[in-house]
């Protein structure tokens, strides 16, 4: 896959990561991409404060932080007032199990970056957040980036918005979403 | 700026994010791209940072050791158990980047054990063997995946852990972390 060379110098990125070494690695990668405005939060609570004060264009969120973890932070951001609720979130996690990735996506993350982090892998996800910005979907049980990145005519997974309608759009409701079938959804939010 | 739903139907709406991030970035011209590759630049930046990686790995191993020492001294609680798991999880996630992939595998095995075995059934000896293995491999800078001693240690710990988890954890709770 050809990677577009982007001038990312105007992008504002907030890194929420409790581990100082990982924070340094992420900052170094972002700096290497040419991003100049990088803000760092040591925990989820500080990240929330900085989202309000620093107005980031993108969040990198460690999924496992003490007290307020990545899932909690993502849910709070998605419930926050506009425009912060739309900020793209890249979850950075050492959990590699597919069901964990799907759970992160269902919290409202935009991309998932499984560790070990690579320069190419993180750049691809940032580029995807910026160039292929997805619409957001609001249902009774979800607010976040449209999880249907690809519209596959041969999709056989769970119909997560409820009963399929003729116009291609469907309804949703917490009771209608059978999470146990989520793993069959091939239209997940990861890029390979 | 309020975002108008672009499509709505009974019970859900699709909303365009108000901030178009494409306006904040620019695709470089061929000439610029020839001079600056963001991925190669980031790899070079990471390479410059790598002089610190051995000491960072030693710090992470020490954090894991301290977490285990606290449990040995005072018994396992929810709090110190979480600290141990977080220390192992940090190593699992970072070790490859820091140049210690086999240490990451040991830490991953420890995460698997802690996450899938009830606290009261957690085998202290096996946990201690994981912690000791991490510390020894870092102390010996066992970085190469071909290192036969480290490889054998990883394989054996992983095998014993998987066997223990299979015998102890509920069937639905045995996946890799």
Query: For chain A, what are the domain ranges?
Result: 12-135, 150-184
pLDDT at A150: 59
Contact A83 B11 (CB under 8 A): no
Which CATH number covers residue B61?
1.20.120.160
pLDDT at B8: 57
Q: Which band of pLDDT confidence, cut at 50, 70 and 90, is reported for residue A104?
A: confident
Q: Which of B30, B32, B42, B87 to mutate to test the interface with A (most CBs of A within 10 A)?
A: B42
Domain-located, residue B65: yes
pLDDT at A100: 80
By CB atoms closer than 10 A (0-12, 13-18, 19+), residue A84 is middle
Q: Which of B9, B12, B22 to mutate to test the interface with A (most CBs of A within 10 A)?
A: B12
Domain-located, residue B10: no
Contact A21 B56 (CB under 8 A): yes
Residues of A in contact with B33 (CB under 8 A): 5
Domain-located, residue B77: yes
pLDDT at A185: 32
pLDDT at A24: 97
Q: What is the ipTM of this complex?
A: 0.88
Q: Which band of pLDDT confidence, cut at 50, 70 and 90, is reported for residue B49?
A: very high
**What residue of B is the nearest CA neighbor of A165?**
B9
Q: Where does A34-173 have alpha helices with state H?
A: 44-54, 70-79, 98-107, 119-131
Specify the number of domains making up chain B: 1
Domain A12-135 part of CATH 3.20.190.10: no
More confident call, A51 vs B176: A51
Q: For A76-91, what is each residue's pLDDT tens digit? A: 999 999 999 999 999 9
Q: For A130-189, what is each residue's pLDDT tens digit? A: 999 999 999 888 999 998 765 565 656 655 554 443 333 222 322 222 323 333 332 333
- What is the rounded average pLDDT for all residues in chain B? 90
Which residue segment(s) compose the domain that B64 sits in? 54-173
Please work out, in degrees rounded to the nearest 5, the angle formed at the alpha carbon of residue A158 by the alpha carbons of A152 and A163: 90
Distance from C-alpha of B12 to C-alpha of A32, rounded to nearest angstrom: 40
Contact B32 A7 (CB under 8 A): yes
Domain-located, residue B157: yes
The mean-pLDDT minimum among B25-29, B74-78, B101-105, B127-131 falls in B74-78
pLDDT at A66: 84
């Amino acid at each position: 896959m050809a990677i577009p060379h982007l001038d990312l110098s105007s992008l504002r990125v907030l890194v929420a990561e409790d581990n100082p070494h990982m924070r340094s690695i992420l900052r170094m990668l972002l700096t290497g991409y040419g991003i100049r405005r990088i803000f760092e939060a040591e925990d989820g609570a500080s990240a929330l404060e900085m989202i309000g004060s620093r107005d980031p264009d993108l969040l990198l969120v460690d999924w496992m932080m003490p007290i307020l973890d990545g899932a909690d932070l993502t849910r709070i951001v998605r419930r926050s007032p506009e425009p912060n609720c739309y900020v793209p979130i890249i979850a950075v996690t050492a959990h590699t199990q597919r069901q964990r990735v799907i759970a992160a996506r269902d919290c409202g993350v935009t991309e998932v970056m499984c560790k070990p982090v690579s320069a190419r892998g993180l750049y691809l996800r940032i580029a995807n957040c910026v160039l292929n910005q997805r619409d957001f979907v609001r249902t009774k049980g979800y607010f976040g980036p449209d999880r249907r990145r690809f519209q596959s005519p041969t999709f056989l997974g769970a119909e997560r918005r409820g009963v399929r309608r003729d116009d291609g759009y469907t309804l949703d409701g917490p009771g209608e979403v059978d999470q146990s079938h989520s793993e069959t959804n091939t239209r997940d939010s990861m890029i390979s | 700026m309020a975002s108008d739903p672009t499509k709505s139907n009974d019970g859900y709406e699709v909303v365009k994010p108000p901030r178009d991030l494409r306006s904040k970035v620019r695709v470089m011209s061929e000439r610029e791209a020839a001079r600056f590759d963001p991925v190669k630049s980031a790899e070079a930046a990471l390479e410059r940072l790598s002089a610190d990686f051995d000491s960072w790995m030693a710090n992470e191993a020490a954090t894991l050791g301290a977490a285990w020492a606290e449990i040995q001294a005072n018994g396992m609680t929810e709090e110190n158990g979480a600290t141990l798991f977080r220390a192992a999880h940090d190593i699992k996630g970072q070790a490859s980047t820091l140049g210690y992939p086999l240490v990451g595998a040991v830490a991953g095995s420890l995460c698997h054990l802690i996450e899938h075995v009830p606290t009261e059934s957690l085998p202290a000896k096996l946990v201690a063997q994981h912690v000791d293995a991490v510390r020894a491999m870092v102390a010996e800078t066992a970085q190469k995946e071909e290192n036969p001693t480290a490889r054998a240690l990883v394989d054996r710990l992983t095998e014993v852990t998987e066997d223990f988890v299979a015998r102890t954890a509920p069937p639905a709770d045995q996946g890799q972390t």
